[in-house]
């Protein structure tokens, strides 16, 4: 075995040529060969990991206006204390608007809320136009009909490549609707069925 990946019907090796670079560890420079994965291949493979979809909602630090965006990089992190995370692209315009408040809500979308995901994944001056919502106990927006709500405060933000990893503490949460989740898989929407 030389460790090379096996190429068969199920394996597509799609890498750019290795790029030699050096890293410094404890003051020692070491040459490393870094395989540059093509972005489209990265998306294709990662797209096979099905996820739910949440809308992260908050209010703008400047004017207290509702802001939000669709996110599928959401996951739980810790039970004690209760921590969650999501990853936010550096080109997001909504996150910088709301992060100054240190608070936001996570709205877990139901299968009938595809239009809400699309709206909050789009560029829009007012993503809440025509969307039914109210203020949760923490004053941040909660969208009507979501499966679940988590009221959070920002615990830490870690830079990671072209995204930031936002770690947040959950202060209050509730199941809002008994329906089924909206799912995201290979760039499209789907619904959950029992096997």
Ligand X SMILES: Cc1cc2nc3c(=O)[nH]c(=O)nc-3n(C[C@H](O)[C@H](O)[C@H](O)COP(=O)(O)OP(=O)(O)OC[C@H]3O[C@@H](n4cnc5c(N)ncnc54)[C@H](O)[C@@H]3O)c2cc1C
Under the rule (CB under 6 A), what is the footprint of ligand X? Answer: 53, 69-73, 86-89, 91-95, 117, 121-123, 184
DSSP string for residues in 40-96: HHHHHHHTTS-EE-EEEEEE-TTT--EEEEEES--EEEETTTTEEEEEEETT-SHHH
Give the shortest CB-74-to-ligand X separation in angstroms: 7
Residue with smaller CB distance to ligand X, 105 or 117? 117
- Name the token pair of 51: 């996820």
Residue with smaller CB distance to ligand X, 18 or 126? 126
Residue with smaller CB distance to ligand X, 95 or 176? 95
- Return d(Cα 93, Cα 105) in angstroms, integer: 17
Residue with smaller CB distance to ligand X, 40 or 91? 91
Of the candidates 154, 158, 159, which has an alpha carbon nearest to the alpha carbon of residue 169? 154
- Return d(Cα 97, Cα 127) in angstroms, integer: 14
Residue with smaller CB distance to ligand X, 53 or 149? 53
Helix (H) or strand (E) holding 118: helix 114-120
- Return d(Cα 165, Cα 156) in angstroms, integer: 8
DSSP 125: S
Give the shortest CB-134-to-ligand X separation in angstroms: 21
DSSP 122: S
Give the shortest CB-36-to-ligand X separation in angstroms: 22
Give the shortest CB-153-to-ligand X separation in angstroms: 19
Give the shortest CB-11-to-ligand X separation in angstroms: 27
Give the shortest CB-34-to-ligand X separation in angstroms: 24
Residue with smaller CB distance to ligand X, 122 or 135? 122
């Amino acid at each position: 075995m030389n460790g090379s990946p096996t190429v068969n019907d199920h394996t597509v090796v799609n890498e750019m040529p290795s790029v030699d670079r050096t890293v410094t560890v404890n003051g020692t420079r070491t040459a490393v060969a870094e395989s540059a994965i093509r972005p489209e291949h990265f998306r294709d493979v990662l797209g096979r990991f099905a996820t739910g979809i949440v809308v992260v909602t908050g209010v703008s630090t400047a004017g207290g206006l509702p802001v939000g965006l669709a996110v599928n990089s959401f996951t739980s992190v810790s039970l004690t204390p209760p921590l969650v995370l999501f990853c936010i692209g550096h080109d997001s315009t909504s996150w910088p608007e709301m992060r100054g408040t240190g608070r936001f809500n996570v709205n877990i979308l139901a299968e009938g809320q595809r239009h809400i995901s699309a709206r909050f994944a789009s560029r829009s001056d007012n993503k809440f136009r025509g969307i039914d919502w109210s203020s949760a106990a923490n004053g941040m927006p909660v969208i009507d009909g979501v499966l679940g709500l988590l009221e959070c405060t920002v615990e830490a933000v870690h830079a990671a490549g072209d995204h930031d990893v936002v770690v947040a503490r959950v202060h209050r949460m509730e199941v809002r609707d008994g329906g089924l989740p909206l799912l995201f898989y290979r760039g499209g929407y789907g619904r959950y069925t029992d096997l």
